[in-house]
Amino acid sequence: MGEIGLFPLPIVLVPGEQIPLHIFEPRYRELIGECLELDSPFGLVLADDDGMREVGTQAAVIDVLDRFPDGRLNVLVEGHERFRIVAETGGRPFATAEVEELEDDDDDEPSEEELARCLTAYRRVVEAAEADFDEPDPGAPSFAIASRIDLGPPAKQDLLERVSERERVVRLTPLLERAADALAWERESRERAATNGRVEPPGS
């Protein structure tokens, strides 16, 4: 992959996911400007109080939503290949690094039972949230599901770093099951509150 410009943020982008970004710092306006001019990606990597992670996702700008007179931008980006930082480099206003592609172990696929349990949990979350259900690709559902369900950055980063679809499916399933239980409890609480009823929280 070579050298790439980095955009550290307190969020995680998974392959195939699309998110909007507001670009306002001069250094990142320069980075995104180069990406637009050269039609090249940048690296979006999680950064928080624990520092910057070694694994991130190449992001491509697929649409410029707004341009402001002061140079700020609203853009829509899409996650592509994952990468691992080999060495941080310097010389630019924004962070840069030499990176290598993070590839999956294609021989480690989830069993039919593991995949079915994950998809069932995903459907429960969507139904509990009263949202529209989109069937993910059964061959590689983990990132598609993670892009739709708010798992929080730590859990999402953990999935991003896993190098097999089976590992991601197995770790994703209990997260979805807990989310489904919590959403169902919230909905039941609202319904019971209207009638002065009581409801026990999940796990009590």
Distance of alpha carbon 16 from alpha carbon 147, whole angstroms: 8
Contact by Cβ (8 Å): 19, 65: no
Question: What predicted TM-score, i.e. pTM, was given to this entire model?
Answer: 0.87
Predicted local confidence at residue 1, as pLDDT: 78
Nearest-5° Cα angle at 18, 15 to 22: 125
Predicted local confidence at residue 192, as pLDDT: 65
Predicted local confidence at residue 40, as pLDDT: 96
Task: Please give the share of the chain, as a percent, with pLDDT higher than 90.
Answer: 77
In the chain, which residues have pLDDT < 70?
A: 139, 188, 190-204
What are the chain's domains? 2-101 (2.30.130.40), 112-193 (no CATH)
Structure tokens at 123: 């459907």
Predicted local confidence at residue 195, as pLDDT: 61
pLDDT digits (tens, 9 = 90+) for 108-126: 899 999 999 999 999 999 9
pLDDT digits (tens, 9 = 90+) for 161-170: 999 999 999 9
CB-based contacts of 77: which residues, under 8 Å, 6+ apart?
13, 18, 19, 20, 21, 44, 59, 60, 61, 62
